[in-house]
Amino acid sequence: EAGVAQSPRYKIIEKRQSVAFWCNPISGHATLYWYQQILGQGPKLLIQFQNNGVVDDSQLPKDRFSAERLKGVDSTLKIQPAKLEDSAVYLCASRPNRGYNEQFFGPGTRLTVL
């Protein structure tokens, strides 16, 4: 079974530029999550999708971050404009719809903002 795919794996940009990350969850997984992991900290949930609807985006800095999952499969996370403090690893995870406790994580995208 293929895992959660993310691209790119690494991205370096200058502050005030825009960047987008892509996630392809495991086939059939209805729930998709985006996390931000700053160096030395645990992952922090940014947004949760159920199919193509947003379940929780309370921790998403909406003035600069946006995310979408238009067809209930792939998802993109965008930052516009980026700040230095956005330097982090952005992790995508997915989970089947019912009765399953485990989230499956992708390898993440490491963003460096200069």
Binding footprint of another protein on the chain (CB under 8 A): 4, 31, 33, 40-45, 48, 56, 91, 93, 95, 101-108
| CB of 45 or CB of 73, closer to another protein | 45
Round to whole Å and give the CA distance between 98 and 59. Answer: 24
Task: Report which DSSP code applies to 85.
Answer: G
Round to whole Å and give the CA distance between 84 and 5. Answer: 26
Nearest approach, Cβ of 27 to another protein (angstroms)?
18
Round to whole Å and give the CA distance between 73 and 6. Answer: 13
Nearest approach, Cβ of 42 to another protein (angstroms)?
3
Nearest approach, Cβ of 16 to another protein (angstroms)?
28
